[in-house]
A and B are shown apart, each in its own frame.
Chain A
Amino acid sequence: MKTYMVFDLGGTYIKYAVMDEEAGKLESGKLITPVSLEEFVQKITSIVQSLQSKYDFSGIAVSSPGAVDTHTGYIGGASAIPFIHDVNMIELLENETGHQVSIENDANCAALAEGWLGAAKDTDYYICIVIGTGIGGSIVMNRSILKGSNLHGGEFGYMLLGDPLDNPQRLNWSRTSSTHALVREVERKKGLAMGALTGEQVFDSVNNGDIIASECVADFYKKLAAGIFNLKYILDPAKILIGGGISKRSEVIDGINQELKKLRNETATLDFRVEACHFDNDANLIGALFHLLNSGKSDY
């Protein structure tokens, strides 16, 4: 049995696991995300070293925030872990650990996990839409991520659905239709301070008959459905998966699907539904491993 060391780099924690070829977890743990590159490298190296006597690792897989260039090993853009950018992470970790290293963006890892072992394992053409602080996502074609000419494939959070044009990107899909935007809207209508409510509280209050929250949530489903409808007609994927915290609520999936139905007409005749992502906390680890097993080349 081959074993692999897998890391999921996050702003708060770095999660890790020893996995077999089928993403079975043999061992796992987490540590608070270091504050410098030196500390990061030292901690990663010591975890690998402490475990490799027990397991003969066939490689190291990393899920990372930021615009990961899977070929060069550089992580562009900005993220919650500032020090990972602008170094060749693959080269660095390979030199320090002596193992083959592959890196992929975390959202892409989550999407790849769904295609490998999750909700999209029966298709090779699907998209994942992750709804949370903003809206992000990935397009998967033939089990590979569609990266695009500027690494902007799947950045449909920037979609415009018809709000004031003077500063268009101020009101893109991400800004108007994320969970964060919903919570903020409820807070505003109730005269509450920003941060007074959580997404969970908003949905719970809908279930308790709160009128303001109900109206906001109904509008939220409408706005999400409009963007999803557009993605369907741009790409026509076989599956559309919804991720992010709210996707675990069946009323959210149902609410979106009801609004999608209303958008059908004589020209746009497709009857399609969204589904929730299958994986939760382990999605990034599983997808990172999939990327490694595909020679670190599961992207176009």
Chain B
Amino acid sequence: MSDHLLGIDLGGTNLRAALVTADGEIVEERIVPTETEKGPYHTIQNMIDLCEYFLNKNQIAAIGIGAPGPLDSKQGTILSPPNLPGWDEIPLVTLLEKVLHRRVVLDNDANAAALAEAMIGIGKGKESIFYITVSTGIGGGFVYRNQIIQGAHSCAGEIGNMIIDRYGPVHSNLNKGSLESLASGTALKRSAQEQFGLDGHAGDLFLLAMEGHDDAKMIVDTMLTQLAKGIANIVHTVDPHMIVLGGGVMQSKDYIMPILKKKVDLFLYPQLRSKVKLECAALGTKAGVVGAALLSQQFNAVLRS
């Protein structure tokens, strides 16, 4: 059992730990509620217990953790993520390494999912993929030759910040016209609320759009236009071998993809039209924990200097 990897997916709702083969198959998985209201040290203790459970039964050299950003992967510190209230400057890697006596690798959840999709998911075999998660927020991860490009300050792939419009709603914590303010699940929800009083989440809006509801269709169309612009900007920058789309909003992929593909083509430099591979993530909810396990093998995270 020496070839198995241990991955931890720390989410706002659940804490998942899984023993994963080098090929990305889950051998055994355990899930407990995160219980953010009980504070970080309660969750960290649960994390330690889960790790010890797996470490006692298996030979495991390193542990990978995917967690919500912002975080500093170099220092191994969690930096006040909105989804983990109370987690302010928590040196998670140091804490765990001290107790578990294993090397611990921490990265953000979007990078973990990106790595999973690149290595064993839809992007398997591609030289480079750019993963985009469209959910409450918008994030992403760039994987090159099966290595996560973290960037100098662990901020590569933080594409929710990308400015794509001069206009758009004013935000307290985002720039006007940023991709996240225009194309996230939260943006959809807000538009639907404002424009026709829909009190539901993004999935409800897509159901209405599929039924032909005019306002719903228009809101989704506008959002996809903005998302397509963000995707085109990524293509013009890194020209990845595949763009992979994941996240909660992509549950409505059957409605989204045909429209999105057309819109992306419209925004591309003519020579690139129809050459860009745009695909949906293949691993579903297990991408996080599998990606975290694969993270443990990123011994020398590249391009941090």
Give the chain A neighbours of B235 by CB distance below 8 A.
152
Q: Is the CB of B303 within 8 A of A142?
A: yes
Give the chain A neighbours of B268 by CB distance below 8 A.
158, 169
Chain A residues engaging chain B, CB cutoff 8 angstroms: 123-125, 139, 141-142, 146-163, 165, 168-169, 226, 229-238, 263, 265-270, 272, 300
Interface residues of B, dominant DSSP: loop
The yes or no answer to B190 lying at the interface (CB within 8 A) is: no
The yes or no answer to B154 lying at the interface (CB within 8 A) is: yes
Find B153's partner among A123, A141, A153, A236 (CB 8 Å cutoff). A236
The yes or no answer to B128 lying at the interface (CB within 8 A) is: yes
Q: Is the CB of A168 within 8 A of B267?
A: yes
The yes or no answer to B32 lying at the interface (CB within 8 A) is: no
Q: Is the CB of A153 within 8 A of B70?
A: no
Nearest chain A CB to B235's CB is how many angstroms away? 7
- Known: A157-B236, A300-B144; 4 extra A-B contacts, CB below 8 A, are A155-B269, A160-B232, A160-B233, A229-B161
Complex A-B, nearest 9 residue pairs according to Cβ-Cβ distance, in ascending order? A236-B151, A148-B239, A162-B165, A266-B173, A236-B156, A238-B152, A152-B239, A158-B236, A125-B303
Given contacts A149-B240, A158-B269, contact A141 B303 (CB under 8 A): yes
CA distance A231 to B161 in the complex (A): 10
Q: Is the CB of A236 within 8 A of B154?
A: yes
Nearest chain B CB to A214's CB is how many angstroms away? 21
Given contacts A125-B303, A226-B163, contact A149 B236 (CB under 8 A): no
Give the chain B neighbours of A158 by CB distance below 8 A.
232, 236, 268-269
Nearest chain B CB to A27's CB is how many angstroms away? 36
Q: Is the CB of B267 within 8 A of A160?
A: yes
CA distance A142 to B240 in the complex (A): 17
The yes or no answer to B58 lying at the interface (CB within 8 A) is: no
Interface residues of A, dominant DSSP: loop
CA distance A149 to B266 in the complex (A): 19
Give the chain A neighbours of B304 by CB distance below 8 A.
125, 238
Nearest chain B CB to A40's CB is how many angstroms away? 26
Give the chain B neighbours of A268 by CB distance below 8 A.
158, 161, 174-175
Q: Is the CB of A234 within 8 A of B234?
A: yes
Q: Which of A169, A236, A300 has the most CB of B within 10 A?
A: A236
Q: Is the CB of B174 within 8 A of A125?
A: no
Q: Is the CB of A159 within 8 A of B302?
A: no
Given contacts A236-B152, A267-B160, contact A148 B305 (CB under 8 A): no
What are 23 A-to-B residue pairs whose CB atoms are below 8 Å?
A146-B239, A148-B238, A150-B239, A150-B275, A152-B235, A152-B239, A155-B236, A156-B233, A158-B236, A160-B229, A162-B164, A162-B229, A226-B163, A231-B237, A233-B156, A234-B157, A234-B238, A235-B151, A235-B238, A265-B173, A268-B158, A270-B155, A300-B144
Given contacts A160-B164, A236-B153, A269-B70, contact A165 B225 (CB under 8 A): yes
Q: Is the CB of A162 within 8 A of B156?
A: no
* Number of residues of chain B lying within 8 A (CB) of chain A: 54
Q: Is the CB of B238 within 8 A of A266?
A: no
Given contacts A155-B239, A156-B237, contact A161 B163 (CB under 8 A): yes
Q: Is the CB of A236 within 8 A of B241?
A: no
CA distance A149 to B163 in the complex (A): 25
Give the chain B neighbours of A161 by CB distance below 8 A.
163-166
The yes or no answer to B127 lying at the interface (CB within 8 A) is: yes
Give the chain B neighbours of A267 by CB distance below 8 A.
160-161, 173-174, 180
Give the chain B neighbours of A157 by CB distance below 8 A.
236
Nearest chain A CB to B279's CB is how many angstroms away? 13
List the A residue with the shortest CB-CB distance to B181. A267
Find A233's partner among B159, B241, B305 (CB 8 Å cutoff). B159
Give the chain A neighbours of B159 by CB distance below 8 A.
233-234
Give the chain A neighbours of B266 by CB distance below 8 A.
168
Q: Is the CB of B269 within 8 A of A139?
A: no
Q: Is the CB of A125 within 8 A of B173?
A: no
Q: Is the CB of A233 within 8 A of B162?
A: yes
The yes or no answer to B149 lying at the interface (CB within 8 A) is: yes
CA distance A235 to B159 in the complex (A): 9
Q: Is the CB of A233 within 8 A of B239?
A: no
Give the chain B neighbours of A152 by CB distance below 8 A.
235-236, 239, 269, 271-272
Give the chain B neighbours of A238 by CB distance below 8 A.
151-152, 303-305
The yes or no answer to B270 lying at the interface (CB within 8 A) is: yes
Give the chain B neighbours of A160 by CB distance below 8 A.
164, 229, 232-233, 267
Give the chain B neighbours of A162 by CB distance below 8 A.
163-167, 177, 229
Nearest chain A CB to B110's CB is how many angstroms away? 12
CA distance A165 to B149 in the complex (A): 32
Nearest chain B CB to A240's CB is how many angstroms away? 10
The yes or no answer to B150 lying at the interface (CB within 8 A) is: yes
Given contacts A230-B162, A236-B153, A236-B154, contact A123 B236 (CB under 8 A): no
Nearest chain B CB to A141's CB is how many angstroms away? 6
